[in-house]
Structure 1
Amino acid sequence: MKTALILGLLPVLVQSSQVLDWTHTGGRLMKRQNTGDGAQGDADSSQSELTERPAPRFPFPVTKFPVAKETVVLENTFYVPAGATFDGGMKRYERPEGSCNEQAEGTDADAVFNLLPGATIRNVIIGKHQSEGIHALGDAWVENVWWEDVCEDALTAKGLNTQLKVIGGGARNATDKIFQDNSLGGKYNITGFYADTFGSFYQSCGNCLNQAKRNATIQNVVAVDGIRMGIINPNYGDEFRLKNAQIDNVGIIVTKEIGNNVQTVPYHIGEGPDEKYALYNTTTDNIVEGFNGTVTNVYEPEDPYEWLEEFWPDGFWE
């Protein structure tokens, strides 16, 4: 049974570092870690931060989408305050009637959720036909979040030196891209994600008004039926890493472009790995082409959420 709740939620512009506890276990303010990048074949060194939080209570990568039992309709974009944790309890969240326009870049006001610096969002399903899914306006954690049908972007990073961590979750039918990096000198770290049918898995903005080096580390993911895993701008020093990935019917790993800050179409300069920007090796970094439905590197929590299987009645994998 689908229940629609119309919530008139005004944007909460909270800049305080105080933690707002919206979960059973409590949220916590995330401390920024500005560390070096590491060499080819390594993860971005900020990956070590994964060990500084409680162990995830959900498995990943999961190759089946959750079944939502309730839909929450938000009249306005929901702002998760700075330092707060929002736990959606695996409900589906969407805006009224949706507003998908694949030809237009959405604004913060078009997103279902905006995350203020230090926010965490977890156990959320983003419904279909939403112009924008989630915008991270500063450092943020995105855990076990699922996009049922991506329109323009699923998750967009903004802000200065934004550290964005994605653990688990999945997205499908992203005609354009799943992860968009519009930040000024940020880092994207994506672990345990499942992508099904997409244009680009990750994209560093090629024509933003403000440009800088961006860094993406993608590991332990399953990606099927996509055009490419990443687009980067070597002229701004972007770095892209891919490790322990199972991919199937994905034509290109990395596309390289000459980005600009005048909002014109970036110039394509090539594809494939190198020793400075596209830092991956299909053999040593265990990038397996061809996915038969069996996930080879599954994380299974010691203390899973008690209600978890309720939303995966047919199991987590094929």
Structure 2
Amino acid sequence: MTNTTGHTHRRRTTRRRALLGGLGALTLTGGALMASGMLGTAGAASAWPTATGTKAVSSSISVSGTYDGGLKRHYGSGDLGGDGQEEGQDPIFNLKDGATLKNVIIGSPAADGVHCAGSCTLQNVWWEDVGEDAATFKGSSSGSVYTVYGGGAKKADDKVFQFNGAGKLVVTKFQVSDFGKLVRSCGNCSTQYKNRNITINDVDVTAPGKSLVGINSNYGDTAALRNVRIHGDSSKKIKPCIRYEGNNTGAEPKELGSGPDGTYCRYTASDLTYD
């Protein structure tokens, strides 16, 4: 997949850690999630789940319909077993338009996580050690809707969610820690789309991290932040929203500014809390 930063990714040593806590499987469908309102009342972060088993994945799992992983830890092996941040890796899961992936823990090696070819729902999906990216959204229709509900991600050297396609991305009740960027609208893909829309709501963010969302204002991208709780960043080093000048040439995108502007970065100080 396309590198939006222009920097070479470093390789990392695989890190596996036992995770504590339990989490019941969620039962809402993607449609019900959208209908129930993504801008609801904020709540506390869920505990990270304990894996119920393990599953080695040597070639990408294609999903149409719904794949319920039963909270098993899926990790790359064979061709998907490379460790690091190299561009162009295959994903653990390939979701077709309209597919749902739920109750899955993605361990390490994580390869390129999840790819969505069109609208998709990622429900209660947990990335223990993000590989290239946690998920990449690639739909070509402006009507595509990518829903991330629940779950979390740790140890993302760069991006968690890579938004290469067209449409709308909604991230709700998610938690992220030790990361580069939570969401990035592709800054230099050869095929660019206008008016990508991003909503981040009821999310827990734990430092260190660089930014919550990066958008291309010259293409009309917008990002709304609501009920975002930021932990361990009293100096406010994590930038909530950065505006870039995107391109389709592969060049390093130019940073235009950051912070709320009422047009592209849509939030106020009251939408963010720090502790």
Q: Which TM-score band (shorter chain)?
A: 0.7 to 0.9
Report the equivalent of 1:234: 217
Report the equivalent of 2:158: 176
Pair 1:74 & 2:54 matched: no
Pair 1:113 & 2:93 matched: yes
1-structure distance, mates of 2:121, 2:215: 22
> Alpha-carbon deviation of 1:233?
0.5
Report the equivalent of 1:260: 247
2-structure distance, mates of 1:113, 1:209: 24
In structure 2, which of residues 29, 47, 61 is the aligned counterpart of residue 64 of structure 1? 47
Report the equivalent of 2:19: none
Q: Secondary structure at the match of 2:35?
A: helix
Assess if the C-alpha contact under 8 Å between 1:61 and 1:168 holds in 2: no
Q: What is the RMSD of the two structures over their aligned residues, measured on CA atoms?
A: 2.4
> Alpha-carbon deviation of 1:140?
0.6
2-structure distance, mates of 1:276, 1:100: 39
Pair 1:186 & 2:167 matched: yes
1-structure distance, mates of 2:254, 2:71: 41
> Alpha-carbon deviation of 1:106?
2.7
Assess if the C-alpha contact under 8 Å between 2:129 and 2:153 holds in 1: yes
Pair 1:49 & 2:34 matched: yes
* Structure 2 unmatched runs, 5+: 1-24, 38-42
AA matched with 1:76: S
Report the equivalent of 1:149: 129
> Alpha-carbon deviation of 1:48?
7.6
> Alpha-carbon deviation of 1:100?
2.7
Report the equivalent of 2:148: 166
Assess if the C-alpha contact under 8 Å between 2:76 and 2:108 holds in 1: no
Whose relative contact order is higher, 1 or 2, with alpha carbons under 8 Å and at least 6 apart? 1
1-structure distance, mates of 2:252, 2:71: 38
Number of residues paired by the alignment? 237
Report the equivalent of 2:206: 224
Assess if the C-alpha contact under 8 Å between 2:76 and 2:111 holds in 1: no
Assess if the C-alpha contact under 8 Å between 1:129 and 1:151 holds in 2: yes
2-structure distance, mates of 1:203, 1:188: 11
> Alpha-carbon deviation of 1:74?
1.5
2-structure distance, mates of 1:240, 1:139: 18
AA matched with 1:138: G
Q: Secondary structure at the match of 1:131?
A: coil
1-structure distance, mates of 2:27, 2:104: 17
* Structure 1 unmatched runs, 5+: 1-23, 32-46, 53-59, 291-318
AA matched with 2:211: R
Q: Which has the larger radius of gyration?
A: 1
In structure 1, which of residues 266, 270, 276 is the aligned counterpart of residue 257 of structure 2? 270
Residues 259-307 of structure 1: CA deviation (Å, up to 9, x unaligned): 0001111011111110210011022x3x1022xxxxxxxxxxxxxxxxx
Q: Secondary structure at the match of 1:111?
A: coil
Report the equivalent of 1:132: 112
In structure 1, which of residues 196, 201, 208 is the aligned counterpart of residue 189 of structure 2? 208
Residues 55-79 of structure 1: CA deviation (Å, up to 9, x unaligned): xxxxx75343212131111221000
